[in-house]
Amino acid sequence: MSSSQFRYTQTPSKVVHLRNLPWECVEEELIDLCKRFGKIVNTKTNVGANRNQAFVEFAELNQAISMVSYYASSSEPAQIRGKTVYIQYSNRHEIVNNQSPGDVPGNVLLVTFEGVESHDVSIDVIHLVFSAFGFVHKIATFEKAAGFQALVQFTDVETASAARNALDGRSIPKYLLPDHVASCNLRMSYSAHTDLNIKFQSHRSRDYTNPYLPVNHTAMDGSMQPALGADGKKVETQSNVLLALIENMQYAVTVDVLHTVFSAYGSVQKIAIFEKNGSTQALIQYSDIATAAIAKEALEGHCIYDGGYCKLRLSYSRHTDLNVKAFSDKSRDYTLPDLSLLVGQNVPGVADASAPTAGWQNGQVQTQYAGYGGSPYMYPSADHAGASPSSGHPPYYG
């Protein structure tokens, strides 16, 4: 045997060091290689920068000596998955698995919700997801640099471990999330806490073991938390403000365009357009919830332009009164009086309502809709049955 495969200069140890292992070699493969030489009491895998080393600790020193001596004199090298493994004594006499705090099992889980903001996942949804594995004692949510997180306390370590093993890396069911959230992945570790200190019931914290705990009524405001129906599905809280996510934008969508589309269902008070997570979104405020509900039902999933362009995905916003700049490229307040006077006075940022909007000077678009009175945007059917409204606007192709 080559001297590079075995080192006899080291003092024998119960711990054997194995090198040149195949990628992500698992404990079962190490045990299968070493078990014939004696009882194995501990292992440590995926060691080193390339994660191709490991340590195996035998119960007795003579067992480790037996293994090293055997392969030192054997004509056939030790192999795992057909790859030659180099064996030597370790300079340590026992394996100490230094676990990070997040790896030490406990009854409290630290959960990170990826891809969402704090108001996207309610404490009721968190309770619904985790109570499937056992009684949840307490929940505390908060925001850190890692994002939106929660501490979830179970009765014992076994229940917490079962929940972690089942849910870590998984996603919350889509029907429990707001429509604008594509997915919410769960990342979990164990917390060093054993008993959370919940001072009052709120939308951020909950103690399910103490019904007499004071309630923070302000924090329990229902407008902040989506309710759950008897089947566990989210019941969206209605609002007079709609949140519009605009998909497949091939043409510009301006405040004037949105006003034209949404004012078909009632008086629009305010509009604000913004960019978030690489997509264009808008908030449209009506005077009351009923009008917003009618507009949402009629426009959800429809496209502003024929051909599937600028599709609207609508949900209710938690806002009730938008604070927007009166007149800008991205926002408009239609509740301010005498807009025409401001236009006549050439107030900066206020366009002449009679002039064509700059965003619609695309000749191709105007030509495409020349047969529809020059209007490039589409209106859904008034009777919701697919027929064109009597006004002569084109049928809605969303």
Phi, psi of 106 (to 5 degrees): -150, 175
Say what the pLDDT of residue 328 is.
81
What Cα–Cα distance (Å) separates residue 311 from each residue in 244, 248, 353?
9, 6, 25
3-state secondary structure 228-251: ECCCCCEECCCCCEEEEEEECCCC
With 70 as the cut, is the pLDDT of residue 380 above it?
Answer: no
Which residues pair with residue 83 across a beta bridge?
Answer: 80
186 exposure class (CB count in 10 Å sphere: 0-12, 13-18, 19+): buried
Q: Which amino acid is at 156?
A: D
pLDDT at 277 over 90: no
Tokens 């060091």 belong to: 17
**For residue 233, what pLDDT band results from cuts at 50, 70 and 90?**
low
Q: Which residues pair with 147 in a beta bridge?
A: 144
Q: What is the pTM of this model?
A: 0.37
Rounded to 5 degrees, what are φ and ψ at 133? -110, -5
Domains within the chain, CATH numbers bracketed: 15-89 (3.30.70.330), 108-217 (3.30.70.330), 241-333 (3.30.70.330)
- Which pLDDT value is given to residue 110? 93
pLDDT value at position 353?
39
User: Which run of H or E residues covers position 332?
Assistant: strand 331-333
The distance in angstroms from the start CA to the end CA of the chain is 74
Average of pLDDT values for 272-299?
A: 90
Number of Cβ within 10 Å of residue 179's Cβ equals 15
The mean per-residue pLDDT over the stretch 81-100 comes to 83
Determine how β-strand 86-89 pairs with β-strand 83-84: unpaired
Q: What is residue 66's predicted lDDT score, i.e. its pLDDT?
A: 94
Most confident of 7-11, 121-125, 319-323: 121-125
With cut-offs at 50, 70 and 90, classify the pLDDT of residue 167.
very high
Q: How confident is the model at residue 143 (pLDDT cuts 50, 70, 90)?
A: confident
Are 305 and 312 within 8 A, CB to CB?
Answer: no
